[in-house]
Structure 1
Amino acid sequence: MNLTETHSVPKFITPIRLQEYGVGIFNSAFTKSALKKAIKKKYITVNNTIATSGTILRGGEQICLSIPQKTHLYKKLIFPLQVIFEDEYLAVVYKPAGILVSGNRFKTVANALSQNIEQSNVIDATKPHPVHRLDYATTGVLLIGKTNTSIRLLNKMFENKEVKKVYYAVTIGEMKSKGEIILDIDGKFSKSYYNLVKTVPSKRFNKLNLVKLEPVTGRRHQLRKQLSAINNPILGDAIYGIENLILQGKGLYLHAYSLSFKHPFTDEQVCFKAEFPKRFKKIFPSKIAELTAITNCN
């Protein structure tokens, strides 16, 4: 049994690669990576011809996605999410620690969205889907697309670095007041800026720092690897932390605080924030209260 979806390309479009145009048009392959995988596995045809990574669309084509499905019973995931914002095109939810954004597991944010997000009334409405990722242990703001067009546009905005992301982390050790971190990650350039917000003494860790982080690129585990590289690993990081200074059982002290961007449909400059986890507040109560009182995303 195959899961099949079709899409008709408008006749009047500028020639564009299938890999770019196809992001978000199929429920079963929302993201750029999922689309690439479907093309590689020969699940996609254009006018009944198997598509490749070099396929160009010129308008009027019929695209078909056909994925072989295993027959098994599905359980419904019951997992309430805090919805920070929602309209017909997109939503913003709070991602808690200890859950994957998407993937092959049953318990993911993606699988929980249909019960937390309203179906859009726009003509190309589709199943709500995350348009970027946060690590399993990271908390904070997660952007969701609700229509095929919004998913495609939001993905493009992330690629073009038109979405400003602000994180906060608790790091270990002596640290400069601000800086730029450039690091090669898996053969790719990565860059982030940091500002030291507050430092408190610690018997075990000598110093704990509340640090504001602004990533320019978006590599896997980027902030965790970068801070480890300058000898200021994130508190609770069991992978990139210093062996004898790893805090067990308290989680990773990394929080996706805010997203700022121009809404692709209203052209309004929007800014969404996620409340700090309690573990941040215990270490820096007054500073977190001060940051929480600020209405903008800076």
Structure 2
Amino acid sequence: MKEIILECDIDDARIDTWLSSNMEDYSRTYIQRLCQDGNVAVNGEKVKQNFKLKAGDNIVVNVPEPEMLNILAEDIPLDIVYEDEHIIVINKPKGMVVHPAVGNYTGTLVNALMKHCGDSLSDINGVIRPGIVHRIDKDTSGLLVVAKSNKAHEKLSEDLKTHDIRREYIALAEGIIYENNGRIDAPIGRHPVDRKKMSVNLKNGREAITHFTVRERFSTATYLELKLETGRTHQIRVHLSYIDHPIIGDAVYGRKKQRFKTHGQVLHAFRLQFKHPITGEEMQFETDVPDYFQKLVEELRNLK
């Protein structure tokens, strides 16, 4: 059983709504089930999902261990950038899901890692997400680090929380951004209506900061380099949509009518920098621009 302790920062908020904005890995439906099963307490008393919180309330959430599932090791090719006995850095292709979830238990990065690493993956996150320290979306390509030992996993998770793992992305955004660089500072939480989405939420959102630099401007789009200061779910996608320059191909946060067949958002995690969790050595990895991305860049350059 995993125990999560939080303190409410606002008055008159439903506990299921507030928790879904502050526990990004869990849906509102799942949190409601935790309340119904007696796994949520406020100031020592178990509460239901419609309980109204006050600022300063102490909340304890007990999350049951994930069910043991038969996650198969699969012989799926991996683009391995670096590997030692503690960590492995992967260049994930566009279209690959990072870890299994309901209705999707095969073909993921975890399935491939289980084949490649065997028993040499940390088990802190249980059978569903062995070794997974941080994620990138299915249709986002690029670099992520995976823990092979529990000691490495604990240190990397700590560094992630303190923003000591630096992640940089490139993206193609709709429209022309005239500023050469900028900072988007807008809190992100669950969308108030569509609970499968995130949104800028000034009332219940968590701090989210994205820095951007323009690499190149085209007639109808902008080539961006982005740095994450925080790591909220869908952060770059939500922030660029918020400033009315959504990522090309983003079916969730982008334009309803897409001009290009991109099979999802044109977003790539091109640079990853962190200290080795065991040796303390400063490590930096960078990938080439993937073919699907470069092809669209050339297409945009040729548009009049």
Cα deviations by residue, 1:224-267 (Å, 9 ceiling, x for unpaired):
01011111111111111122345345432000111111112112
Residue 111 of structure 1 corresponds to 111
TM-score (structure 2 length as normaliser): 0.66
**CA distance 1:193–1:173, shift in 2 (3 Å):** same
Give distance in 1, aligned partners of 2:236 and 2:121: 38
In 1, are the aligned partners of 2:121 and 2:131 still within 8 Å (CA)? Answer: no
Change (3 A) 1:244 1:132: same
Q: How does 1:225-240 map to 2 (within 5 A)?
A: 225-240=238-253
- Distance, in Å, in 2 between the alignment partners of 1:69 and 1:280 is 38
| 2:210 matches 1:211 | no
Query: Does structure 1 residue 101 correspond to structure 2 residue 98?
Result: yes
* CA 113–229 in structure 1, closer or farther in 2 if over 3 Å, else same: same
Partner of 1:185: 188
Distance 2:259 2:186 in 1: 23
3-state SS, counterpart of residue 244 of structure 1: coil
Query: Following superposition of structure 1 onto structure 2, how do residues 83-102 of structure 1 map, counting pairs within 5 Å?
Result: 83-102=80-99
Return the alpha-carbon distance in structure 2 between the equivalents of residues 165 and 74 of structure 1. 29
Unaligned 5+ residue runs, structure 1? 1-16, 21-31, 44-51, 56-64, 202-206, 286-298
Match of 1:294 in 2: none
Distance 1:89 1:19 in 2: 27
2:292 matched to 1:279? yes
The amino acid that maps onto 2:251 is A
Structure number, greater radius of gyration? 1
Shift of 1:67: 6.5
State the 1:117 CA deviation: 3.4
In the alignment, what sits opposite 1:10? none
TM-score by length of 1: 0.67
**How many pairs does the alignment contain?**
231
Instruction: Decide whether aligned partners of structure 1 residues 268 and 118 sit closer, same or farther in structure 2, where only a CA change above 3 A counts.
Output: farther
- Give the deviation of 1:77 after TM superposition: 2.3
CA distance in 2, matches of 1:284, 1:147: 39
In structure 2, relative to structure 1, the CA distance for the partners of 1:86 and 1:42 (3 Å cut) is farther
Give the structure with the larger strand fraction: 1
Query: Which residue of 2 is the match for residue 14 of structure 1?
Result: none
Unaligned runs of 5+ in 2: 6-23, 40-58, 190-204, 299-304
Identity %: 28
